[in-house]
Structure 1
Amino acid sequence: MERMDGEQKSSSWQDGQLSGAVYHGGPELGKVIVAAYERYLVSNPLHPDVFPTIRKMDAEVVAMCLRIYNHPSGAGTTTSGGTESIIMSVKTHRDWARTVKGITEPEIIIPASAHAAFDKAGDYMKVKVHQIPVDPETRMVDLAWVSRAINPNTIMLVGSAVNFPDGCMDDIEGLSALALKHNIGLHVDCCLGSFIVPFLDDAGFPTRPFDFRVKGVTAISCDTHKYGFAPKGSSVIMYRTPELRQYQYYVNPDWAGGVYASPSIAGSRPGALLAGAWAAMQFIGRDGYVASCRSIVGAAKSIENSIRTEIPELYVLGNPMASVVAFGSKDASLNILEVGDKMSKKGWHLNALSNPSAVHIACTRLTVPVVGQFIADLKDAIQEAKSAPSGTGNMVALYGLGNSSAVGPTMVGKLAAAFIDTLYLA
């Protein structure tokens, strides 16, 4: 294992050549989290009578997030990550709609740019998912299409603040008006925006209404393990009312082992992760998150500006508001995925996108000192892709296959499943 870790250091995450993935709050915070983890190593919030401190930390993490999102009288729970937060919200709105509105064939409406976790939730929870196109220029979901898609079975709309593919924010106020008109839920996915978007205004960047101050918003997901710098496995799902949250719970009063009740999918949960999240939020504090937002979004804005003004071959998708910048090729002869593969050879781990074909970087604290290197390497990668395209890199091969024919996505799916299989080869 030591040898494997040593080999990985040749392309280390500490170098900052990584899109998202590692949200490092610094070595001092790392020590604080480790100390919290060690102290509460065996704790389990399933047993609040045995671990009352963890119960309090769990509640306070949720309460702090509710304050950040401007609704301290709301309700929520912690989860294992953004995917579980989203699944829980879909389950909650499904059960609410069945009880209150009598809907037995539930449907949700999401932007095409929404996180795949909503499709996953629909698959798990047997909820039909309608994907609505986004405007090619603004990258915001088309509200007219959303309005036409709403029907008697609709239980919830979805908007992102911000979305994963290109870092743009949907028109949450517009979605809110539709949700209120039809008495349906509105989930705002802030998993990636997390501890960036709520602090944009304080950090001096433009923003738009997106949180519980928008009346139609019924749920918000926020990943504390992203820009909150909590240890991985930490997220929060928030609701406008405690009454709505009750539809998330699983309660079985008739089990032979006694009354069983849990707030989310998991039964036993790692209290040490909750302690780490609580410690991170206490350690950094509001001023720390504002400063972090200022530096990270500043790095993203610098990258965006350099692409717009210095690299004529590329264009930036939409108007990214936070930490993500996605870029595509203006030149039909320049394959942006080839550029991505050339960047990989320079040590960068970036994300390939489809529809449209593009590449993005999600900036973190680690990106801040290497912005200049990123732009220089990107310019070189473009020239290399023009002069000597290989057509054999991972991005070109995988995403090119997906767009190659009607069966391309199925073939990519089989490759992805085979890849997961290999992860479990001991």
Structure 2
Amino acid sequence: MSAVASSSKSSLKQIASLLLTLDGAKSALFYYVLLVQIIKAHRHLRARGTRMTMKELYTWVSRQIIHVFLKLPSMQKKVSEQMGQARLDIENKLVPKGPDVVRHLTLPNEGKSLEWLIKEMEIMDTEMPGSSIDAWKKGKLSGAVYHGGDELSSIIITAYSRYCVSNPLHPEVFPAVRKMEAEIVSMVLKMYCAPDSAAGTMTSGGTESIVMAVKTYRDWARAVKGITHPEMIIPSSAHAAFDKGAEYMGVKVHSIPVDSYTRRVDIKRVRRAINANTMLIVGSCINFPDGNQDDIQSLSVLAKKHNIGLHVDCCLGSFIVPFLDSTGLSKGDEKGRYKLEPFDFRLDGVTSISCDTHKYGFAPKGTSVIMYRTAELRRHQYYVNPTWSGGVYASPSLSGSRPGALIAGCWAVMQHIGSEGYKNSCAAIVKATRQIADAIHDDIPELYVLGNPPASVVAFGSKHPKVDALEVGDAMSKRGWHLNALNDPKSVHIACTKLTVPLVDQFIADLKDSVREAKLTPSGKGTMVAVYGLGSSSAVGPSMVGQLASAFIDALYKA
């Protein structure tokens, strides 16, 4: 009996010891998770600051409350009707309607002749009211079409025709295309003053170049620094492709405000946001929204000090900013405006740069270059699968098969234009941009220029209480101009191209008339006011605009 009791006591002690051990493990796990969350919260608070954190919290709470309110049957019906009408309006602007519209929804039984194809294309070019295949030639566009002239178009078509079936995935079959791609990368690296160790690849455009950069630094941070929860720091003015890449690659983003006057990222806030998980900081030269450049020199110092990547987005600056020095325009004007500061690989901390050849390089759409300071860093961009049943698979970027014809077109254009040609186009475009900026500064008191844009983009906001910049943008639309509306602050920009150069005086005159119209007879019904105004009107505004954007994409695929 005593032996049984002794055995029971021993078992109870073992159970108690096990429970204590389990409780200890649970407690340790709890405190570990709590510590991790505290560290994350501290880093988030340090990067955002108390004011921005509270603003984000307020916005989140407001959205939750409004979304609950919108679930009420009466509100659901009202929102559904309004969104339905908005979707219909979008479709009506994009999709041809009427009994005379012929739709090709299935394959024809027998193939059509070249004559039939050309005739059908001509019909489709004019199916939408006011549409025309060459409407862009009028030049009233912000960016969009970077046309180098009819001679260049002929060169691109000739190169495309020669290599129309080529595919860089098979370099042994198309050695000339491989050679041209390597030479394009080399030429762009030289433009950006890259060291001998530098390397790069071509991509399909600026977005892919940026997404590839995010992927590269994520994999580099994991392999070299052991970072498993990577973070990146971007200015609020950085291109949306960085957020897109971060979402694809599972990277946390800290978006840092830009100075309201200089339009540059707040360096102190960037410094505060850097932590042990930071893999990358970003700067732009120039940024898309307002055409200004960040303080790349200060960002370079930070990147080098903390041994993290610094990517400079020159997709829009492309073949403009590398040639500003040679034109003498990099020094700005006599009032100290429009000065270009160092931004390329001559700064030690710059580890990668993206440049779109299909913008001011006048190459065919679908070409861009991503550059790295070292070939070793570039290898983190590659995807390699040595065990695939189809054989060893390796690709430098997102795409597998790629259109070699676009590479050939890009190479041919760069060879045809040369440094002097790019220098001349840079000078003409930048002078036109500054003429517009000067007119806003000196002759249109209701408006102001955002920052000191050094290159090809100028954005304007309103400083008059009765003038809405978006109303001005809508008034410009009535005059045939296709400009870009911006948020934070409400403003409008034009990216000047060679098409803009002969129209500068007309743009300025139309802008003055549009300001007068916006001041005297604001309608509040234009596209810019309706869509971008909604985005900032309430906490739920961005969600509604998001639904409209999704409806727009849906309409693109409505046959």
- Tell me, yes or no, whether TM beats 0.5: yes
Which of the numbers 171, 177, 182 marks the counterpart of 1:48?
171
Does 1:190 find its partner at 2:314? yes
Unmatched 5+ stretches in structure 2: 1-120, 331-339
Which of the numbers 103, 125, 128 marks the counterpart of 1:5?
125
Which of the numbers 34, 38, 43 marks the counterpart of 2:157?
34
Aligned to 1:115: 239
Identity over aligned pairs, percent: 69
Aligned equivalents of 2:124, 2:404: Cα separation in 1: 29
TM superposition shift of 1:2 = 1.4
Aligned equivalents of 1:232, 1:20: Cα separation in 2: 13
TM superposition shift of 1:387 = 1.4
Does 1:401 find its partner at 2:534? yes
Q: Check conservation: 1:202, 1:290, Cα contact below 8 A.
A: yes
Aligned to 1:255: 388
Q: SS of 1:328's equivalent?
A: strand
Per the alignment, do residues 10 and 229 of structure 1 end up closer, same or farther by CA in structure 2, a change over 3 Å counting? closer
TM superposition shift of 1:10 = 8.8
Does 1:222 find its partner at 2:346? no
Task: Give the letter for the 1:337 counterpart.
Answer: L
- Aligned 1:150-169 pairs, distance under 5 A: 150-169=274-293
TM superposition shift of 1:8 = 2.0
Does 1:89 find its partner at 2:209? no
Q: SS of 1:201's equivalent?
A: helix
Aligned to 2:444: 311
Aligned equivalents of 2:448, 2:123: Cα separation in 1: 42
Aligned to 1:331: 464
* Cα deviation digits, residues 29-80 of structure 1 (max 9, x gap): 1100000000000000000000000000010010000000011521000000
Aligned equivalents of 2:488, 2:222: Cα separation in 1: 35
Q: Check conservation: 1:63, 1:72, Cα contact below 8 A.
A: no
Which of the numbers 328, 339, 352 marks the counterpart of 2:485?
352
- Aligned 1:284-303 pairs, distance under 5 A: 284-303=417-436
Q: Check conservation: 2:256, 2:270, Cα contact below 8 A.
A: yes
Which of the two has greater helix per residue?
2
Aligned equivalents of 2:499, 2:211: Cα separation in 1: 30
Aligned equivalents of 2:183, 2:409: Cα separation in 1: 12
Aligned equivalents of 1:125, 1:36: Cα separation in 2: 36
TM superposition shift of 1:203 = 1.2
* Cα deviation digits, residues 147-166 of structure 1 (max 9, x gap): 00000000000000000001
Does 1:71 find its partner at 2:194? yes
Aligned equivalents of 1:3, 1:331: Cα separation in 2: 46
Unmatched 5+ stretches in structure 1: none
Aligned equivalents of 2:144, 2:411: Cα separation in 1: 21
- Aligned 1:235-250 pairs, distance under 5 A: 235-250=368-383
Aligned equivalents of 2:518, 2:184: Cα separation in 1: 47
Task: Give the letter for the 1:320 counterpart.
Answer: P
Which of the numbers 280, 295, 305 marks the counterpart of 1:171?
295
Which of the numbers 357, 369, 389 marks the counterpart of 2:522?
389
Q: SS of 1:269's equivalent?
A: coil
Q: Check conservation: 2:140, 2:500, Cα contact below 8 A.
A: yes
Aligned to 2:255: 131
Aligned equivalents of 1:67, 1:240: Cα separation in 2: 12
TM superposition shift of 1:118 = 0.2
Q: SS of 2:201's equivalent?
A: strand
Aligned equivalents of 1:372, 1:222: Cα separation in 2: 30
Per the alignment, do residues 357 and 123 of structure 1 end up closer, same or farther by CA in structure 2, a change over 3 Å counting? same
- Aligned 1:251-290 pairs, distance under 5 A: 251-290=384-423
* Cα deviation digits, residues 244-282 of structure 1 (max 9, x gap): 000000000000000000000000000000001101100
Aligned equivalents of 2:143, 2:497: Cα separation in 1: 6
Task: Give the letter for the 1:5 counterpart.
Answer: D
Aligned equivalents of 1:81, 1:236: Cα separation in 2: 8
Aligned equivalents of 1:144, 1:4: Cα separation in 2: 54
- Aligned 1:346-385 pairs, distance under 5 A: 346-385=479-518
Q: What's the TM-score, normalizing by structure 1?
A: 0.99
Aligned equivalents of 1:59, 1:11: Cα separation in 2: 34
Aligned equivalents of 2:400, 2:438: Cα separation in 1: 47
TM superposition shift of 1:332 = 1.8
Q: Check conservation: 2:125, 2:133, Cα contact below 8 A.
A: no
Q: Check conservation: 1:38, 1:272, Cα contact below 8 A.
A: yes
TM superposition shift of 1:208 = 1.2
Aligned equivalents of 1:96, 1:236: Cα separation in 2: 20
CA-based RMSD: 0.9
Aligned equivalents of 1:67, 1:8: Cα separation in 2: 41
Q: SS of 1:157's equivalent?
A: strand
Aligned equivalents of 1:356, 1:340: Cα separation in 2: 14
* Cα deviation digits, residues 11-44 of structure 1 (max 9, x gap): 8110110000000011101100000000000000
More moved, 383-392 vs 187-196 = 383-392
Q: SS of 2:537's equivalent?
A: coil
Q: SS of 2:154's equivalent?
A: helix
Q: SS of 2:459's equivalent?
A: strand
Q: SS of 1:77's equivalent?
A: strand
Per the alignment, do residues 4 and 344 of structure 1 end up closer, same or farther by CA in structure 2, a change over 3 Å counting? farther
TM superposition shift of 1:9 = 2.6
Q: SS of 2:255's equivalent?
A: strand
Q: SS of 1:179's equivalent?
A: helix
